[in-house]
Amino acid sequence: MDTSSLPHFVPNAGMRLAADDKIISHTGDTGPSPDIVELAREADVFLAEATFPEHVLTAKDAPFLSTARQVGEYAAGAGVGELVLTHLRPGTEAADAPRSARAAFTGEIEVAVPGLERGLA
């Protein structure tokens, strides 16, 4: 397991887990960081905070929260297999976050929901 300190209102560490030639990476709650691409590099599954679809609503929050568009760019740059968007702001329309991520990432995109399971065959 590798971890990386990432920006948020409180201390946060993203993590990268590898086992049996499979990799899963998770940002936790985070703002923008160039370290995210390395954290997600060639991950089979990349779970990434995407609080807002396109833009963080306030400038004071922008260093500490991410958008689906940003994480789509990170996923594309890291060459991940699948992107799972997490931590969406309540009230976000179901299709908005994946649509925003799709602007940069052409792989499979899902939104994390209770009960979502992922097998890494």
* 120 vs 65: which has the higher pLDDT: 65
Q: Is residue 60 part of a domain?
A: yes
pLDDT at 58 over 90: yes
Q: Is residue 84 part of a domain?
A: yes
Instruction: Extract the tokens encoding 9.
Output: 């209102």
List, for residues 62-91, the tens digit of each pLDDT value.
999 999 999 999 999 999 999 999 999 999
Pairing of strands 22-26, 12-19: antiparallel
* Domain coverage including residue 79: 2-111
Q: Is residue 72 part of a domain?
A: yes
List, for residues 4-55, the tens digit of each pLDDT value.
999 999 999 999 999 999 999 999 999 999 999 999 999 999 999 999 999 9
Q: Is residue 86 part of a domain?
A: yes
Q: Is residue 119 part of a domain?
A: no
Q: Is residue 94 part of a domain?
A: yes
Q: Is residue 120 part of a domain?
A: no
Let me know if 67 is exposed, middle or buried by CB neighbors in 10 A (0-12, 13-18, 19+): buried
Query: Which residues are paired to 22 by β-bridges?
Result: 19
Q: How many distinct structural domains can be found in the chain?
A: 1
CATH of residue 97's domain is 3.60.15.10
Polymer length in residues for the chain: 121
CA 13 to chain CA centroid, nearest Å: 13
